[in-house]
Amino acid sequence: METKRGVPNILAGGFAGIGLVALALAVAVFAGVVDTGFPAGIYVIVAMVNVALAVILWRLT
pLDDT digits (tens, 9 = 90+) for 11-49: 889 999 999 999 999 999 999 999 988 999 999 999 999
- Is position 56 within any domain? yes
Residue 22 lies in a domain: yes
Sequence-separated (6 or more) residues with CB below 8 Å from residue 36: 25, 29
Structural domain that includes position 55: 13-60
Structurally, the chain folds into a number of domains equal to 1
pTM of the model: 0.80
Mean pLDDT of 7-13: 85
- Nearest CA to 44 among 61, 21, 13? 21
Predicted confidence band of residue 3 (pLDDT cuts 50, 70, 90): low
